[in-house]
Structure 1
Amino acid sequence: MTESLKQYLSELEALKNIAERMWLDQQSYMPPAALPERARQAGILQNLIQERLVSDELGALLDAASGDEPWLGVVREDREQALRLSSGIWRRFLEVGAEAFSVWEQARQDEDWATFEPWLARMVEIDKEYAETVGYDVHPMDALLSVYAAGPTHAEISGVLNDMRDFLIEARKARPVEDYVEEEGPAEEHLLFAIAHDIGELIGFDFDRGGIAFSPHGYTSSAGANDVRITFRSDVPLFEAVSTMVHEYGHALYGQGVARELWDTPAGHGSMPYLQESQAKFWENIVGRRADFAERIGEILERRLGRRSAAEWASMYHRSQTRAASSPIRIATDEISFNLHILLRFEIEEGLLNGSISVADVPTVWNAKSEEYLGIIPANIREGALQDPHWTRRMFGLFTAYVIGNVASAQLAQAMEDQGVSISDAIAGGDFSAVLGWLREHVHGPGRTTSVQEILLAATGSPLNAAPYRKHLTDRYMS
């Protein structure tokens, strides 16, 4: 690879990282009145990124490139996609999405679907246009499912969800639920920062290369392996905030674990979204909902909050994570029902794409499916169709990455244990270096150069397989 190509790609990644930091700022500290200018800035920046991807200069540099570096394939794929999107569809997606997010935030606060409805309608049309622009073989969602990296097809995703639907509904009904789980209200922000810092240190997050912020909806923002931030809400009950922290650290550890030789290239990030979610779900569910891990959380809460012993905190936290009733809120619900939340959204997205569901009918359809799958009718639209901002940020179909992530997380955990790396030992010793090391070797290191299927086959010897996940849920909740 020539120095000219290295420099070109380094500058391209810098532009992408600036765009990512602008998005973090919008979600955390940006004043509301700055939105119109921020949307314009985001569009200009995305246009610069697009221009650099489709330029003749990059084409010539790639033609002259020699070597077998795996990230070269990623660069070529990104360029080919950018050439297909030269109509500006991606810029419109980001510009409209940036404004739609702000509208969603206010609509959610006001419980006002009518205000958000026209913005969702615009996002639906952009999704459709994107699919037609990129092209697809069978279903428009085939194009949307592979926005960031080659993903499963619509037929494959539908097969997984259809195969698991009845099992998940029965597992939800069979899961032991306590009538009342004592819950803490929101903690003060400085205490939440301290708790988040302690959890990050426990599981191996490098604070020299990352940080913490608050936002209306928890997420991880990566502007390169040396600038990975997690965000979470400060206005939710304590245990919900803690669980979100553990989830987001899974994303962040992945971002920090990409091999150094991939930094400053388009492959220097975690593979979106399926492998990303497998890492978040590994820490949130496989590790985070264990009774022995709750003991570690209890120690942190005793140290930072006092009021109760570590054992009391641990018991409360573990019960909240495994015995609380299903919630109408996706990010606050139990491990089993979470997948049914995704099924609900996926079916609504299918209907919006094929016209069988109108944007105006989404709240009604949402509530009906919530009652069918979760046994819950949302009390208001904040608990229903306005609970997530993802439709302003992600293409349709990509919610399913959470289910694929759940399935893959259990598959990876089983392979890890089979290969002699014990999660129990890591928790008992308060040292997750062996667990994190296994993940870095088998999952994190390759960055965007491999797909979820390739990673699973290499790490576990099998393609995506739901059997370990079914066993995980059965052992934890139904045995």
Structure 2
Amino acid sequence: MSSVLYDQYKQLLHKIADVKYASAVLQWDQETYLPPKGNDKRGQQIATLSELAHEQFTSEHTENLLQQLVLQEMPANEKRNVELSLEDYNKSRKLPATFVRKMSEAVNRSFHAWIQARKENSFAVFEKPLNDIIELKKQEADLLGFAAHPYDALMNDYDKGLTVKKVDGLFGSLKPQLSSLLQDIATKEQVDDSFLFQHFDKQAQWDFGIEILKKMQFDFEAGRQDLSEHPFTTSFNNHDVRLTTRVDENDFSNMLWSCIHEGGHGLYEQGLPENEYGLPLGEYCSLSIHESQSRLWENCIGRGIAFWEHNYPSLQKVFPQQLSNITLQQFYKAINKVQPSLIRTEADELTYHFHVMIRYEIEKGLIEGSILTRDIPAVWNELYKQYLGVEVPDDRRGCLQDVHWSHGSFGYFATYSIGSLYAAQLYAAIAGQNPSLEKEVAAGDNGTIVNWLKQHIYRHGRYYLSDELCRLATGQTLDAGAFISYATKKYSLIYDTGKR
């Protein structure tokens, strides 16, 4: 009986996944190739598909099937799929289909307003559509319910169990340790990275980025890379994973580490269990774990000396005029330069956390009502001055730089910092279990890393919560000390701070 019901359950979720991923294809196209005049109808199409998928999943038929299945005896993985689907169902039932459609339509308007606002360098163009999103997110928090803070309901979407109390505590302990490390670095001679801001041909950068992704073992038979206003990764199944990046011909770092970052996301998506398509165990654990994958590759590996021992000679051949007289050590120090800056995606891995904290504080204030939408530029600029000591010159390089709010992704940003903490802990575990890892990476062999991640992260899907998965992989739950230890060791050598 249970096997028949489980087959029915799989067929139902496969159909729902087909609708969701069809919508995702349209969204990917919207951010890459859609002609401007197609905006309105595309928004309507995405809204219709979102509404259909929601209606299918929250139907009485789905509820009856899940209620029957949850009482059946079945293998552990099947049982876990059903439990998670019932949990998702109960949560989704709190959001009416009309609300889901309304949110989708608002997101479409907001995204295109954000694009236009960036072109005009004016937050005013984005303010009204963004305010509509914020009001809907407040409604969503109320519909979903929360115990302590409305923002908890939104963060829970990205990492189950994440709360304001937890994040406030985490950031509260991380901030002074980071500040101390940054103060030590500030007393030392600054690294010269001026050679990274010469002219680097767009196509040559692109081609080199593709080669790096291949060396990371991203499968281009099961994915591709394109250009977009803001780098992102999306997946329609583990054999169709899309990355995007952007290129600045006068800033070498802009594209390459976006490629590596998104490549980390892409490897995770390609590594999820193929036979669990459309089911919870075929989905990623959480956004915090997803971000751990991108940050692990971007920073622990992609900004590591071993990685460039292998790849730097090739890069010098691509750009001989710009780099032939720059040593490996000079390049390594330059790509790890620590300096407060304006743009989150281009920030070094230490000051990066302050970029995240700023967005977290603003989002929390917007959802609780202590910050109004119209006040975002002023609050943003003040926090950048307070946290990073930089003056924000305009909206494009300030509060318009991230795409997330236009997507309605409130509650996401904290996972970037948490992901960085997980990344350092995961990398320490990989290195601890594989003493020859650095030599392998220096020889161009990233196989040990990919295979370890497949075994300890990818294959589990959503079976475990973030902290449980971390404990299974590393022996303990999240410990920010791993990141502080990693960062102190790395930057004490780059800046000769005397700390180890």
* Length-normalised TM-score, structure 1: 0.94
- Alignment partner of 1:112 is 2:122: yes
* Partner AA of 2:182 in structure 1: R
Name stretches of at least 5 consecutive residues in structure 2 with no aligned partner.
Answer: 493-498
The answer to whether the 8 Å contact 1:273/1:401 transfers is yes
Aligned position for 1:166: 176
Aligned position for 1:268: 282
For residues 197 and 178 of structure 2, what CA distance do their matches in structure 1 show?
A: 29
- Between 1:82-91 and 1:424-433, the stretch displaced more is 82-91
Question: Aligned to 2:470, what secondary structure does the other structure show?
Answer: helix
For residues 326 and 460 of structure 2, what CA distance do their matches in structure 1 show?
A: 41
- Structure 1 302/178 Cα, relative in aligned 2: closer, same or farther at 3 Å? closer
Q: Equivalent of 1:198, from 187, 211, 217?
A: 211
- Alignment partner of 1:102 is 2:112: yes
For residues 313 and 79 of structure 1, what CA distance do their matches in structure 2 show?
A: 56
- Structure 1 119/467 Cα, relative in aligned 2: closer, same or farther at 3 Å? same
Q: Equivalent of 1:218, from 231, 234, 238?
A: 231
* Partner AA of 1:254 in structure 2: Y
Aligned position for 1:142: 152
Question: Aligned to 2:218, what secondary structure does the other structure show?
Answer: coil
How far 1:77 moved relative to its partner?
A: 2.0
Aligned position for 1:290: 304
Aligned position for 2:140: 130
For residues 311 and 74 of structure 1, what CA distance do their matches in structure 2 show?
A: 56
* Partner AA of 1:28 in structure 2: T
- Between 1:3-12 and 1:403-412, the stretch displaced more is 3-12
Question: Aligned to 1:84, what secondary structure does the other structure show?
Answer: coil
* Partner AA of 2:229 in structure 1: P
* Partner AA of 2:238 in structure 1: A
Aligned position for 1:326: 340
Aligned position for 1:32: 36
Deviations 1:348-387 (A, max 9, x none): 1122122222211111111111011111111211111111
Deviations 1:205-229 (A, max 9, x none): 1111111111000011111111111
Name stretches of at least 5 consecutive residues in structure 1 with no aligned partner.
Answer: none
How far 1:411 moved relative to its partner?
A: 1.0
Matches within 5 A, 1:12-411: 12-65=16-69, 66=72, 67=74, 68=76, 69=78, 70-86=80-96, 88-175=98-185, 177-178=190-191, 181-184=194-197, 187-235=200-248, 237-307=251-321, 312=326, 314=328, 317-323=331-337, 325-411=339-425
What's the Cα RMSD here? 2.0
For residues 218 and 153 of structure 2, what CA distance do their matches in structure 1 show?
A: 34
- Between 1:328-337 and 1:2-11, the stretch displaced more is 2-11
How far 1:420 moved relative to its partner?
A: 2.4
The answer to whether the 8 Å contact 1:180/1:324 transfers is no
For residues 402 and 394 of structure 2, what CA distance do their matches in structure 1 show?
A: 14
How far 1:258 moved relative to its partner?
A: 1.1
Q: Where has structure 1 moved over 6 Å in runs of 4 or more?
A: none
For residues 144 and 105 of structure 2, what CA distance do their matches in structure 1 show?
A: 19
How far 1:389 moved relative to its partner?
A: 1.4
Aligned residues, how many? 479
How far 1:149 moved relative to its partner?
A: 4.7
* Partner AA of 2:204 in structure 1: L
- Structure 1 453/422 Cα, relative in aligned 2: closer, same or farther at 3 Å? farther
Aligned position for 2:432: 418
For residues 420 and 442 of structure 2, what CA distance do their matches in structure 1 show?
A: 24
* Partner AA of 1:262 in structure 2: E
Aligned position for 2:490: 476
- Structure 1 423/46 Cα, relative in aligned 2: closer, same or farther at 3 Å? same
For residues 180 and 247 of structure 1, what CA distance do their matches in structure 2 show?
A: 20
* Length-normalised TM-score, structure 2: 0.91
For residues 86 and 443 of structure 2, what CA distance do their matches in structure 1 show?
A: 45
- Structure 1 97/275 Cα, relative in aligned 2: closer, same or farther at 3 Å? same
- Between 1:166-175 and 1:401-410, the stretch displaced more is 166-175
For residues 329 and 111 of structure 1, what CA distance do their matches in structure 2 show?
A: 15
% identical equivalent positions: 29
